[in-house]
C-alpha cells in the first residue's frame, strides 16, 4: 500500500491510495494529515513488532558479543541522524 499526499484546488489536502486507486481522505488540513499518519504509523510499527516478537528469532553469536559489549559500556549505542528515505528529513535519536 502506498499513500500520496496531494494539495487540492481548494488549498486543503487529500490522501490518495494507490492500492484502491482512489482518495481515502479529502479536505484535510496539514494537522489532520499529520494525525492520520501518526496513528497509522503507530499501528504499522506495532504490527511489525508483534510479528517479529512472535517469530522469536535468536540473536546470532556475533550479536551476543555486541550485547555483551553494550553491557560493559553501560549504554546502548545511538544511531544518530538517520535519513528518512529520500525525503530530505532525518530522525536524530541524540536529542
pLDDT tens column, 25-79: 999 999 999 999 888 888 888 888 899 999 999 989 998 999 899 999 998 887 7
Distance linking the first and last C-alpha atoms of the chain: 31
**Cell numbers that stand for 62 in this block:** 556475533
Give 94's pLDDT tier (boundaries 50, 70, 90): low
Does the reported pTM lie above 0.75?
no
Cell matching residue 36: 492520520
Domain ranges for the chain: 3-73
Amino acid at each position: 500500500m502506498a499513500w500520496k499526499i496531494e494539495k487540492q484546488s481548494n488549498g486543503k489536502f487529500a490522501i490518495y491510495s494507490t492500492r484502491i486507486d482512489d482518495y481515502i481522505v479529502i479536505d484535510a488540513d496539514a494537522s489532520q494529515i499529520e494525525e492520520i499518519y501518526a496513528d497509522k504509523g503507530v499501528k504499522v510499527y506495532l504490527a511489525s513488532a508483534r510479528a517479529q516478537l512472535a517469530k522469536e528469532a535468536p540473536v546470532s553469536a556475533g550479536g551476543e558479543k555486541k550485547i555483551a559489549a553494550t553491557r560493559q559500556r553501560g549504554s546502548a549505542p545511538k544511531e544518530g541522524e538517520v535519513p528518512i528515505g529520500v525525503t530530505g528529513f532525518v530522525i536524530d535519536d541524540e536529542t
